[in-house]
Amino acid sequence: MNVILLDPFEVTLPQDITASLTCDYHINVLKFNRRGTQLATGSQEGTICIWDMDTLGISMELKGHVQPITSLSFSRCGKFLLSSSRDWNVILWDLKSKSRMDTIRFTSAVQLAIIHPRKNSFIVLAHMDSPCLFVQEESQDMDWKKVILETPEPRKDTPTTIQYHPSGKYILVGTNKGFLLTFTEHGEYIKEQRISSSSIKQIQFNTSGREVLINSLDRIIRVFGVKDTTLQNEQKFLDAIDRMQWSKCHFSADGEYIAASTMSFIKMLEGPQEGMSDMTWHPTRPLIASVSNYYGHVNLWQHIPTQKFSSFEPLFTELDDNIEYIEEEDEYDIKERVIEKKNVYEEADVDIVQDDLVKLMSDTDDED
């Protein structure tokens, strides 16, 4: 693609499906690394595939789970991957050696596991259990210390989702009654806030951490400004016509747009008539990766730029339709004056011996 032909004022939003990632497994979850150079996908069979976004091919396969993958999380450096599954296990993978570093087993299926944005710790949410924080101890065995995220008083609601703040200083926990609980990175309780009257499904921060997106079962997407642990300036988005239930929501790379399920708030993205189990936005590019719920492959939505050939010539006119052009009778005839001028240059003598001084390219002040 020629950069000169691109319109600098064109809005680069994903528009069409430009590629599909297919493999031998039924994909149900996916996650980009921090720089967007790799895409991790989890399947119903328990296999994890790492895709190279330059070649759109599989660079490695990780096999350790025996049940469907529920979540994937890259470390900040991109060398480690944390995966959770319905087989009650959470596995930490070393992508350089393509081996598992550690395995932690729970008493029920694991719903979500997220690595700390900056440190060697992670949080886990399992069914029928309280959220847990695992911190790696500085000992000879490098064991994991388990810290349960609990409030001072017992609660009747149950946690439904968890998320780290991009700075790693806070942990947010959503409940089935619409409460948002805030903890420190060490697991200490700070405060609670009522967000919705229904269950919170997803918590998503933008890259800077100044805005947070909360998706709940009342079909409303709420966006708040974040200042320390306080949420302010609430904005609501919903589909007033179809009243659709948003399965997944995600901020764009610059945080100016929100993609939800198969719809963007700027335009509708039309694709195959099939459900979507997961979606995510590329960290640096206008690209959305979505998972087909029926076929189990990944669709890549990208912006196709329009080339402006008038950049070469301002008088160049672009035509929407073909126009039949009738040439004149003598339009391409060779003119006599062109032949005479050409003969004059051909008969002139060319001196290749004398060294003439080119004044425009010379640094001296000589007049010779």
Tell me what the pLDDT averaged over the chain comes to.
Answer: 82
Q: How many domains does the chain have?
A: 1
Average pLDDT over residues 8-30: 83
CB contact at 8 A, 48 and 83: yes
- 52 falls within a domain: yes
| Alpha carbons 182 and 149: distance in angstroms, whole number | 10
Q: What is the pLDDT of residue 115?
A: 93
Reduced to 3 states (helix: H, G, I; strand: E, B; else coil), residue 337 is helix
Give the contacts of 302 (CB within 8 A, at least 6 positions apart).
Answer: 14, 15, 16, 18, 19, 285, 286, 287, 288
Q: E strands of 46-197, at which residues?
A: 47-52, 57-63, 69-74, 80-85, 89-94, 99-105, 110-115, 121-126, 132-136, 144-148, 159-164, 170-175, 179-184, 189-194
| DSSP one-letter string for 39-87 | EEEEETTSEEEEEETTTTEEEEEEE--SS-EEEEEE-TTSSEEEEEETT
Does the structure show a pLDDT above 90 at 40?
Answer: yes
Q: Are 253 and 286 in contact (CB under 8 A)?
A: yes
In a domain, 68, yes or no: yes
Q: Are 265 and 250 in contact (CB under 8 A)?
A: no
Quick check: 165 pLDDT over 90?
A: yes
pLDDT band at 357 (very low <50, low <70, confident <90, very high): low
Q: What one-letter code names the amino acid at 132?
A: C
Which residue segment(s) compose the domain that 220 sits in?
11-302
Measured between alpha carbons, how far is 205 from 223 in angstroms, rounded to an integer? 9
**Terminal alpha carbon distance of the chain:** 50
Does any domain span residue 2?
no
55: left (phi over 0), alpha (psi -120 to 50) or beta: alpha
Tokens encoding 336: 């006599």
Q: How many percent of the chain have pLDDT more than 70?
A: 80
pLDDT in tens, 206-265: 988 999 999 999 888 999 999 888 888 888 988 777 777 888 888 988 888 888 874 433
Residue 318 inside a domain? The answer is no
What whole-number distance in Å separates Cα of residue 49 and Cα of residue 47?
Answer: 7
Instruction: Output the six-digit token pair for 51.
Output: 């895709």
CATH number of 275's domain: 2.130.10.10
The residues with which 183 forms a beta bridge, in sequence order, are: 171, 189
347 domain residue, yes or no: no
Nearest-angstrom CA–CA distance, 206 and 209: 5
pLDDT higher than threshold 60 for residue 121: yes
User: What whole-number percentage of the chain has pLDDT above 90?
Assistant: 42
Residue 4's pLDDT band (boundaries 50, 70, 90)?
low
- The encoded tokens of residue 67 equal 């049940």
Mean pLDDT of 183-208: 92
290 within 8 A of 278, measured Cβ to Cβ? yes
**pTM of structure:** 0.76
In a domain, 335, yes or no: no
Higher pLDDT, 94 or 139: 94
Q: What is the model's pLDDT at position 364?
A: 44
Q: What are phi and psi of 341, to 5 degrees?
A: -65, -35
260, exposed or middle or buried, with CB in 10 Å at 0-12, 13-18, 19+? buried
Residue 323 within a domain: no
Q: How confident is the model at residue 360 (pLDDT cuts 50, 70, 90)?
A: very low
Is the Cβ–Cβ distance between 183 and 190 less than 8 Å?
yes
